[in-house]
Amino acid sequence: MLPFVWSDDCLRHEPEAEVWVGTRTPATEVPARLVAIRGELLSSGAREVAAQAHDDSALLAVHDPALVEFLRTTWDEWESARLPSDRVVPYVFARKELTSGREPATPAAVWARPGLFAYDTMTLIGPGTWEAARAAVDVALTTVDLVAGGERLAYACCRPPGHHVTRSLYGGSCYLNNTAIAATALLAQVGGPVAVVDIDAHHGNGTQELFLGNAAVRTASVHVDPGAGWFPHFLGFAEESDDTNLNLPLAPGTSDLGWLAAVTRAAEFAAGARALVIALGLDAATGDPESPLEVTAAGYRQAGRILAELDLPIVVVQEGGYDLETIGPLAVETLRGLATV
Ligand SMILES: [Zn+2]
């Protein structure tokens, strides 16, 4: 039976909204996503494993301690300051050109501090955000423990997602990079190199930046072309590829054939690694409200088969996927494909 790791604390983050082009819009990265996936996993006969608490060492191997401390404390500070917004949202950004490259001051104003660490306005922080993000790290690390302990395949059923977070900056509805933390922990446990294949509809920009030039963790990402106007906009282009990173941007409207060809190239790039982390975004699916890719459930299952043929130990980490009706079945189809070899 496929093991999947779970923590109720991952449900505690309720962003309620995003601020997108200056407008407060309803959040799509909601707790119901994870409830839907868990329900489908249990119906399919998967085995639930409770997340175990891990200390901060793996977290701090990936992220700037200042980012971690900010995420841990900012909601309480915001609430104490009695600000008009019920969520932490930045309004001013500490771009390095503002200080000619010098380290910016830590602002005295609580409401200015998010601008040290946030790179967008749509990733809000509220009560429970830290607890959920930290729980997602424990889910990912417990999943790594299962695979290091001999499971061929295990799935981290976690949120909020993480692949858009760099060493020091959060954004893209992500706070801590669960995939990168899993890859780092897996590298320490099984030896390298480790490969990360990101099949979320959006470029895994945080993971790319964390490991760029690091031969011990190869990263590949299959995603909608940022050049066609899609998040993360500033990177994710094919030209960023090198010996350690492969970007495979796809045109809006790409369906199974083109998407699976890219997944095959990503799998070829991962070949030769000792273990694999899959950043499983389900938002490439047709009908997902957050991307223009048109992948079917059969496509996701086939992607699982392609990656399973690498015959590597596999940690799957949940990333995006926003259609509450289909994300559960899509996760199960992918895991079935991965379990076929
Ligand atoms: Zn995504």
Give the distance (Å) from ligand 1 centre to CA of residue 209. Answer: 17
For the stretch 13-36, pLDDT in tens is: 999 999 999 999 999 999 999 999
Shared-domain flag, residues 111 and 153: no
3-state SS, residue 36: helix
Q: Residues with Cβ < 8 Å from 37, sequence gap 6 or more?
A: 157, 318, 327, 328, 331
What pLDDT is attached to residue 59? 97
Are 60 and 172 members of one domain? yes
Task: Give the per-residue pLDDT at 41.
Answer: 98
Q: Are 242 and 163 within one domain?
A: yes
What average pLDDT does this structure show over 166-171?
98
User: pLDDT per residue over 272-306, tens digit each?
Assistant: 999 999 999 999 999 999 999 999 999 999 999 99
Indicate whether 286 and 197 sit together in one domain: yes
Give 40's contacts (C-beta < 8 A, 6+ positions apart).
Answer: 328, 329, 331, 332
pLDDT reading at 312 higher than 70: yes
Mean pLDDT to the nearest integer, 93-122: 96
The question of whether 202 is a catalytic residue gets the answer no
Is the model's pLDDT at 340 over the cut of 90?
Answer: no
Q: How far apart are CA 77 and CA 219, in angstroms?
A: 36
Whether 271 and 293 share a structural domain: yes
Q: How far apart are the CA of 285 and the centre of ligand 1, in A?
A: 11
pLDDT band of 1, cuts 50, 70, 90: confident
Domain, as residue range, for 89: 67-116
The string of pLDDT tens digits covering residues 232-263 is: 999 999 999 999 999 999 999 999 999 999 99
Look at residue 156 and tell me if it is in a domain: yes
Segment 310-319 shows an average pLDDT of 98
Distance from the alpha carbon of residue 66 to the mean position of ligand 1, in angstroms: 26
Q: What's the 204 CA to ligand 1 centre distance in angstroms?
A: 8
Domain of 204, CATH number, reads 3.40.800.20
Calculate the average pLDDT of the chain. Answer: 97
Confidence (pLDDT) at 192: 86
Question: Are residues 280 and 253 located together in one domain of the fold?
Answer: yes
Neighbouring C-beta atoms of residue 36, cutoff 10 Å: 20
Do residues 80 and 213 share a domain? no
pLDDT given for residue 256 in this prediction: 98
Q: Which of the listed residues 55, 90, 116 is the one where a domain comes to its end?
A: 116
Are 219 and 170 found together in one domain? yes
- The rounded percent of the chain whose pLDDT value lies above 90 is 99
Looking at the structure of the chain, the number of domains it has is 2
Domain-terminating residue out of 82, 116, 150: 116
Q: What is the pLDDT of residue 334?
A: 98
Query: Do both 54 and 80 map to the same domain?
Result: no
* Model confidence at 341: pLDDT above 70: no
Residue 147 pLDDT class (50, 70, 90 cuts): very high
Alpha-carbon separation of residue 11 from 85, 124, 218 (angstroms) = 22, 15, 31
Q: Measure 73 CA to ligand 1 centroid, in angstroms.
A: 27
Q: What is the pTM of this model?
A: 0.98
- 205 in a structural domain: yes
Q: Which entry of 13, 54, 164, 223 is annotated as an active-site residue?
A: 164
Distance, CA of 249 to CA of 44 (rounded, Å): 33
Kindly state the average pLDDT of the residues 177-196: 97
> How high is the pLDDT of residue 35?
98
Same domain, 168 and 184: yes
Question: Is the pLDDT assigned to residue 150 strictly greater than 70?
Answer: yes
pLDDT tens column, 197-226:
999 999 999 999 999 999 999 999 999 999
SS3 196: strand
Please tell me the distance between residue 82's alpha carbon and the centre of ligand 1 in angstroms: 33
